[in-house]
Amino acid sequence: MLIPGAKRIHWPLFWPTLALSGLLLAIVVVASILIHQEQAKADLAIDAALASHQAYTELEKTTQELRHQLALYAATGDETKRTSADQLQKQYGDRLIVIEHLVVCEEDKGHLVKLQRIYSLIQSGLQAIKPDMPVADRQNAAHHLVNEVIEPEIDGTIHQQRELKHSALQQAREKSHTTHAGAWLLLLGGLGSIGGLVGGYSLARRFQKEMMELSVPIHNAAGSLSAIVGPIQLAGSSGIEQLETSLQGIAQQVAAVVERLQTAERENVRKDQMAALGQLAAGLAHELRNPLTAIKTLIEAAKSQQGNAMLEGRDLEVIEEEITRLNKTLQAFLDYARPPKLVKATVDLNELTSKVEKLLIAQAQQRSIQMKLELSKQPVLLQADPEQLRQVLLNLILNAFDAVGTHGTVLLQTERTPSSAILKVQDSGSGIPDALRAKLFEPFVSSKAAGTGLGLTICKRIVEEHGGTIAAENVPRSGACFTVTLPI
């Protein structure tokens, strides 16, 4: 949807972008030509360096073999070795001719002159060794030629030149690689310039379209806020500046609405807190009134006896029971209002369940209740407060006893998953009434006439402080089941 009066693409702004992309493309073309020329030079340098390196390598091999044959000739006098030395001397000269064609600088010419001089010495030295010479003279001449002429030449000029040519070859190859990389970068640059030109045009059209479409929800939002905070004046939507001004105006009004909502939320929280406080006070008053009324009745009955106001026997027992009830009620409220801190240790849920079952087995037998244990085959270890978990388990089992009454069954189960420990307490009672199911864990909710309604609330808080969950459900034809899930 387009807003009336919205402008099309600003073409005068597009042409400078086109000119810049064209300039970049021209620069890329010129640079490509120059790089191509440099690449050609680099290829020639590689060829020359490779040929020189190969020539000096062959010359070094020939000289080494010449030294070897002359050394054998000097030692044995074998004329075949002398013939081999003559042939190698000719190969030496051929190698010099190849190197002479590869000379490109004055330094190479100086080395070539030195090699040619050495060649002349080798040639004249071989000619001076005659077959009819005494053996000792012949050996001395061969030794002199090897040790004084050829040996220094191998270790000196030839080896150094071969290493220099090898370094030159490596440098030429590196330069060629650099030139290749530059060519690829220029190619990418050229493609980027073309892509930038096409993409810039497409982006300009897309941006203009989206900006006009964005104006629609902005005006709709302004209309919705006007009903809450009053009329909102929006600038025209033909440009980014006007669009930004409109968004700032809406943002200010949204901030005002958020502030109103936060104020209302704080008031609702305060009301909820006061309602909870009233509920707590009413519950506490109700729980304290019954035992106090019983005690008061007994005292008034004793006082009504003319001259013989005494409390004894059953009256004192009732007063003691009611005081104990008051103490338990107050302790429950204290536990609810001020829970103890967790003192965690390593707990085996199997072991804890077995201990609590043994603690309550006598009470279960008095009520003709059968307690069953189905423990996990492997230990269920977790980090938890053992005393508080024991309180949760005791509370759930005692609630199960009350639900069963007599001649029933209470089943205790433990399970272990890769991430959690699970405890289940299931009874064979009548199940959870539908009226209590939704608010079962809320304070002061109880189906027992003498209950405070805080037991399950405290259990839920203890479980949640351990990072776990507690849930209750009715099991078909088997009463209720409470499931506690704790992280391992």
What mean pLDDT comes out for the span 228-247?
59
CATH code, domain carrying 148: 1.20.1330
> Structural domain of residue 313, as residue ranges?
255-338
Backbone angles phi, psi at 307, to 5 degrees: 70, 5
pLDDT surpassing 60 at residue 232 = no
- Looking at the fold, whether 84 and 122 belong to one and the same domain comes out as yes
pLDDT value of residue 415: 95
pLDDT value of residue 252: 72
In tens, the pLDDT along 286-304 reads 667 667 777 777 777 777 7
Q: How confident is the model at residue 243 (pLDDT cuts 50, 70, 90)?
A: low
What is the domain count for the chain? 3
> Which has more pLDDT, 373 or 280?
373
CA atoms within 13 A on the CB side of 254: 9
Q: Give how far Cα 435 sits from Cα of 446, 447, 474, Å.
A: 11, 10, 13
- Looking at the fold, whether 406 and 426 belong to one and the same domain comes out as yes
pLDDT value of residue 1: 37
DSSP state of 487: E
pLDDT surpassing 80 at residue 25 = no
CB 189 within 8 A of CB 24: yes
> Which has more pLDDT, 463 or 210?
463
pLDDT surpassing 50 at residue 3 = no
Helix 386-404 × helix 349-366 angle, to 10° = 30
pLDDT value of residue 476: 86
Q: Give how far Cα 144 sits from Cα of 121, 137, 147, 151, Å.
A: 11, 10, 5, 10
pLDDT value of residue 262: 81
- Looking at the fold, whether 425 and 459 belong to one and the same domain comes out as yes
249 found inside a domain: no
CATH code, domain carrying 283: 1.10.287
What mean pLDDT comes out for the span 211-228?
61
pLDDT value of residue 468: 95
Tokens at 222, concatenated = 């302004």
Q: Could you tell me the end-to-end alpha-carbon distance of the chain, in angstroms, rounded to an integer?
A: 56
In tens, the pLDDT along 400-435 reads 999 998 889 999 999 999 999 999 999 998 888 888
Q: Which of 307, 338, 369 is the last residue of a domain?
A: 338
Lowest mean pLDDT among 81-85, 117-121, 303-307, 388-392: 303-307
CB 360 within 8 A of CB 479: no
434 found inside a domain: yes
DSSP state of 339: P
Beta bridge partners of 412: 373, 425
Percentage of residues in the chain having pLDDT higher than 90: 20
- Looking at the fold, whether 382 and 401 belong to one and the same domain comes out as yes
- Looking at the fold, whether 93 and 194 belong to one and the same domain comes out as yes
pLDDT value of residue 6: 42
Residue 381 DSSP SS3? strand
> Which has more pLDDT, 52 or 459?
459
Ramachandran assignment for 5, one of left (phi > 0), alpha (psi -120 to 50 degrees), beta (any other): left
> Which has more pLDDT, 78 or 181?
78
> Which has more pLDDT, 385 or 48?
385
Q: Strand 370-374 relative to strand 409-416: parallel, antiparallel, unpaired? A: parallel
pLDDT surpassing 70 at residue 195 = no
Total-model pTM = 0.41
In tens, the pLDDT along 323-375 reads 877 777 777 666 666 667 888 999 999 999 999 999 999 999 999 999 999 99
pLDDT surpassing 60 at residue 44 = yes
What mean pLDDT comes out for the span 432-450?
74
- Looking at the fold, whether 392 and 463 belong to one and the same domain comes out as yes
- Looking at the fold, whether 129 and 63 belong to one and the same domain comes out as yes
418 found inside a domain: yes
- Looking at the fold, whether 428 and 477 belong to one and the same domain comes out as yes
pLDDT value of residue 216: 58
Residue whose token pair is 């109880």 = 446
- Looking at the fold, whether 332 and 370 belong to one and the same domain comes out as no
- Looking at the fold, whether 271 and 409 belong to one and the same domain comes out as no
